[in-house]
Structure 1
Amino acid sequence: MSHIPPQGGLNGSHTPEQIRRNRLVFLGLVLVVAGLVAFWALGPYDTKDQSSTLKAGDCFQNIGTDKEAKTKKLDCTDPHADYKVLKMNKGAVVDTLACSDVPGTTGSLTQSDPPNWFVVCFKKNDEKGKK
């Protein structure tokens, strides 16, 4: 006569302590993943881009990357204010054309996200860290 093992339920090979431990390990992993997702979504850093609010005379820091710049507007004497806006050209698309007639321009920032197209022409901030 053959013996068919029971389906489902507790298996004699797992003790209640092992089951409890496995559940705690699983809960811990879920909490770690949830924490990482929350950290990524909320982050402890300011990621709000203020590029569209810049105007001539404003100073800013790039809190993004060179390829995806995000600006944080600062007082020009702030030690982190690396750049000074020379011209904000709303509606412009090509930075080389928009900034070619602005004396002193050393760089530009372009946003080509319709309908908010603009180019910011800037230079290094000479007032950085002066009070």
Structure 2
Amino acid sequence: MSHIPPLGGPNASYTSAQIRRNRLIFLGVVLVLAGLVAFCVWGPRDTKDQSATLKAGDCFENVGTDKAAKAEKLDCTDPHADYKVLKMDKNGVVDTFSCSDVPGTTGSLTQSGPGNFVICFKNNDEKHKK
């Protein structure tokens, strides 16, 4: 007659060294995943966007794209300073309302969400004066 082992019992084929090794591998994987999550949450951010710090009279270059603009503040005589801020509306939400009364405006940069603002700007005429 054959003997059938009980179901659900511990498997005697694993030695204590193998169990310890498997636990260390599991712990290593968990630590790597925790490190990746921490890096994504608290890791370095793109700090080039200085849009929120601009004020009237400042000049900047768009280091982003037309759809996702990122302003880098520059001296107005810098050859890369393409735009000059005419107005910074910290309470602005819609550029057509904020910039409609600003003479010379050729474009605007809008940030919505927390910390809304609208920047009205024109092409920088001073960028080649050094």
Instruction: Calculate the TM-score normalised by the size of structure 1.
Output: 0.63
Distance in 2 (CA, whole Å) between partners of 1:72 and 1:129 is 17
Between the aligned residues of both structures, percent identity stands at 76
- Map 1:56-71 onto structure 2 (within 5 A): 56-71=56-71
3-state DSSP of counterpart to 1:122: strand
Taking the aligned partners of 1:96 and 1:102, their CA distance within structure 2 comes to 10
Partner of residue 106, structure 1: 106
* Cα distance between partner residues in 1 of 2:99 and 2:85: 11
Corresponding residue SS for 1:103: coil
Unaligned runs of 5+ in 1: 1-45
> After TM superposition, which residue ranges in structure 1, 4 or more long, deviate above 4 angstroms?
none
* Larger Rg, first or second structure (1 or 2): 2
2:53 corresponding residue in structure 1 = 53
CA RMSD of aligned residues (A): 3.7
- Structure 2 equivalent of residue 75 of structure 1: 75
Q: Report the secondary structure of 2:116's partner residue.
A: strand
TM-score by length of 2: 0.63
1:124 is matched by which residue type in structure 2? N
Look up the equivalent residue of 1:91 and give its one-letter code: N
